Amino acid sequence: MVHTTMEGSLFEPTLYIVKGMCILDNDGNRILAKYYDKDVLPTAKEQKAFEKNLFNKTHRANAEIIMLEGLTCVYKSNVDLFFYVMGSSHENELILQSVLNTLYESVSILLRRNVERRVLLDNLDAVMLAFDEICDGGVILDSDPTSIVGRAALRTEDVPLGEQTVAQVLQSAKEQLKWSLLK
Amino acid sequence: MSFKRDKKEEEDSGGNPYQNLDKTIILQEARYFNQSPVNPRKCCLILTKILYLLNQGEQKFTTQEATEAFFATTKLFQSKDVMLRRMVYLCIKELSTLAQDVIIVTSSLTKDMTGKEDLYRAAAIRALCSITDSTMLQAIERYMKQAIVDKNSAVSSAALVSALHLSSTAPDLVRRWANEAQEAISSENAMVSYHALGVVAGSRKNDKLSTVKLVTRLARSPLKSPYALCLLIRLAAQLVEDDDSDAAQPYIEFIECCLRHKSEMVIYEAAHAIVNLRKTARDLAPAVSVLQLFCGSSKASLRLAGARTLARLTAKHPTAVAACAVDLENLISDPNRSVATLAVTTLLATGAESSVDR
């Protein structure tokens, strides 16, 4: 994308608004991240350095928005997860805020309101699909969390025992034990 | 026994089953995709691991490895599982820049794009356009035009956004889809209308007369989508900037009208445009009072938006900003440091000695 807009002038009429989105854990490590503009943080190394810096500046102060390294970053955290949406510093902050709200709300519905790292990792595939449904190459694709979740969470719930994960088997074994003791 | 060991391993890595993944092991696991019948859940997990590795960006895939993984993934088209299919599309998109001969999936994707399953169609269009180059584009042109005006909003949006991406490599071809996109602007769905406006405006970027027509027509029949309105305000503002004669007056009126919209995003977009366009302090008054209100908001992004735009105004109209001194002073002790810093610098630029004392 070519940046023709100068400091203090009009916003550029473009659909390429989101420069990046990421979810970090409570050590500032990346769980998921996407950067959409090849001129902004092109390498994984630069991205991770930026994420560390971003995390250090934001994880204590829940101040919603920060201007950092020429980017406007809006953010939100819950328990041990941090959600960020980045845009150019010549961008309408409220549009970025709406993308963050969409991201957070979609993930929250997907995880049945248990927005925490463990649950997110158990549903990583669905969250990846949600990421992909929210933003396509920097263009906001959808802003409605229910329709996003409708297209990301497609798993049929009843899974035969042989295909369950270890955690699920343990969980159901625990439940059964609990009930047999309570009897 | 194995349960116990797995549990222990999980605890060691802080409960992240994706930590310590190794590229070579995953690529070996991907050979499992060749088995028939496909086990959707197991394959989904392997694809998730591949995507996770790509996303972490630390273990780089060589062209050969990426191609190998890509070809293994294409085997999964035999399964009808919706979740798995969607993960396959995602993998195709992520691997398409790294692997060779990715056009091999063109026919599978074209089939999904034109098929009955709506959940496949939208995602298949996006995946297809990410692997298609301008020479192949002609082959799918007919389907793309149909998809743009499809009843399903996800399909329509997917086609429009893909067209937008393609317009950087094949502008002439995509310009031929402008009629369909034009039709989609009036869609009931807010996102479709937004994306369509983006495509149409993009195709007319170098044609001022038709941009004038577009903006004039749409300014009279207000769009429902706040995003689309923001884009329209930007287009209108550009026209005003290029032409400050009386002919631009209707655009100014349209933008001022947007100051009374119910969405904050649109209100701010309009206020920002006016602040950067209007020449006299009196013309600015309605926009400045909106920004003043933003400065007192409970939402930090609104306070930042307000303070930042006022800060930019100081160079042009210090007096207009000086009128907001009290609101800006309240922001000096703002819990958000970006907001506080902006407020301080703005006050220093505009402040008289009297306000320094306070």
CB–CB of B211/B204 below 8 Å? yes
B67 phi and psi angles, rounded to 5 deg = -65, -45
- Give the torsion sign (CA, B95, B97, B103, B109): positive
| pLDDT, position A179 | 58
β-bridge partners, A164: none
Which residues are CB-contacts of A86 (< 8 A; sequence separation ≥ 6)? A18, A19, A20, A21, A22, A40, A71, A72, A73, A96
Instruction: Tell me the per-residue pLDDT of A25-34, one tens digit each, with 9 for 90 and over.
Output: 999 999 999 9
Which residues are CB-contacts of A17 (< 8 A; sequence separation ≥ 6)? A87, A91, A92, A95, A96, A99, A138, A139, A140
Q: For residue A19, give the H/E element and its range.
A: strand A18-25
Distances in Å between the Cα of B262 and the Cα atoms of B226, B272, B350 are 9, 16, 32
CB–CB of A163/B39 below 8 Å? yes
Report yes or no: A177 at the B interface, CB cutoff 8 Å.
Answer: no
Report yes or no: A173 at the B interface, CB cutoff 8 Å.
Answer: no
| pLDDT, position B352 | 57
Give the separation between CA A100 and CA A92, rounded to whole angstroms: 13
Give the separation between CA A35 and CA A120, rounded to whole angstroms: 20
| pLDDT, position B174 | 87
Identify which of B83, B122, B273 has the shortest CB distance to residue A10: B273
Question: What's the first-to-final CA gap in chain A, in angstroms?
Answer: 66
The whole-angstrom distance between A183's CA and the closest CA on chain B is 27
Contact A124 B6 (CB under 8 A): no
- Which residues of chain A have a CB within 8 Å of the CB of B52? 124
Report yes or no: B164 at the A interface, CB cutoff 8 Å.
Answer: yes
| pLDDT, position A4 | 40
Report yes or no: A140 at the B interface, CB cutoff 8 Å.
Answer: yes
Report yes or no: A128 at the B interface, CB cutoff 8 Å.
Answer: yes
A77 phi and psi angles, rounded to 5 deg = -130, 160
Look at residue A3 and tell me whether its pLDDT is greater than 70.
no
Give the other-Cβ count within 10 Å of B211's Cβ. Answer: 20
Burial code (b: 16+ CB inside 10 Å, e: under 16) for B234-247 equals bbbbbbbeeeeeee
The whole-angstrom distance between A49's CA and the closest CA on chain B is 13
Could you tell me which of A77, A70, A75, A78 has the C-alpha nearest to residue A97?
A75
Placement of tokens 């810096």 in the chain = A53
Look at residue A157 and tell me whether its pLDDT is greater than 70.
no
| pLDDT, position A180 | 59
Kindly identify which residue of chain B lies nearest to residue A2, measuring between CA atoms: B168
- Whether the upstream peptide bond of residue B37 has omega within 30° of 0, thus cis, is yes
Look at residue A161 and tell me whether its pLDDT is greater than 50.
no
Give the separation between CA B354 and CA B349, rounded to whole angstroms: 14
Report yes or no: A141 at the B interface, CB cutoff 8 Å.
Answer: yes
Contact B265 A155 (CB under 8 A): no
Across the A:B interface, residue pairs with CB atoms under 8 Å apart total: 168
The CA radius of gyration of chain A, in Å to the nearest whole number, is 19
Identify which of A10, A63, A124 has the shortest CB distance to residue B48: A124
Look up residue B157 and give its DSSP letter. H
Give the separation between CA A103 and CA A76, rounded to whole angstroms: 10
Identify which of B201, B315, B336 has the shortest CB distance to residue A65: B336
Contact B265 A95 (CB under 8 A): yes
Phi-psi region of B14 (alpha: psi -120 to 50; beta: other; left: phi over 0): left
Contact B164 A139 (CB under 8 A): yes
Report yes or no: B343 at the A interface, CB cutoff 8 Å.
Answer: no
Give the other-Cβ count within 10 Å of A127's Cβ. Answer: 24
Contact A92 B41 (CB under 8 A): no
- Which residues of chain A have a CB within 8 Å of the CB of B87? 125, 128-129
Amino acid at site B9: E
Strand duo A65-68 + A18-25: pairing:
unpaired
Instruction: Tell me the per-residue pLDDT of A117-137, one tens digit each, with 9 for 90 and over.
Output: 999 999 999 999 999 999 999
Could you tell me which of B231, B279, B285 has the C-alpha nearest to residue B254?
B231
The whole-angstrom distance between B215's CA and the closest CA on chain A is 12
| pLDDT, position A158 | 42
Identify which of A65, A121, A152 has the shortest CB distance to residue B338: A65
User: Which residues in chain B land under pLDDT 70?
Assistant: 1-15, 351-358
Which residues are CB-contacts of B42 (< 8 A; sequence separation ≥ 6)? A163, B32
State chain A's mean pLDDT as an integer: 87
Give the separation between CA B248 and CA A169, rounded to whole angstroms: 68
| pLDDT, position B35 | 87
The whole-angstrom distance between A84's CA and the closest CA on chain B is 13
Best of B83, B98, B231, B339 to mutate (most A CBs within 10 Å, chain A): B83
pTM: 0.89
Could you tell me which of B255, B227, B226 has the C-alpha nearest to residue B241?
B255
CB–CB of A32/B16 below 8 Å? no
Structural tokens at position B105: 């999936």
Report yes or no: A88 at the B interface, CB cutoff 8 Å.
Answer: no
Q: For residue A174, give the H/E element and its range.
A: helix A166-182
Report yes or no: A77 at the B interface, CB cutoff 8 Å.
Answer: no
Q: For residue A87, give the H/E element and its range.
A: strand A81-88
Strand duo A135-136 + A81-88: pairing:
unpaired
Question: What residues 28-47 of chain B have any CB closer than 8 A to a CB of chain A?
Answer: 39, 41-42, 44-45, 47
Question: What residues 23-62 of chain A have any CB closer than 8 A to a CB of chain B?
Answer: 30, 32-34, 44, 47-48, 61
| pLDDT, position A6 | 43
- Which residues of chain B have a CB within 8 Å of the CB of A32? 55
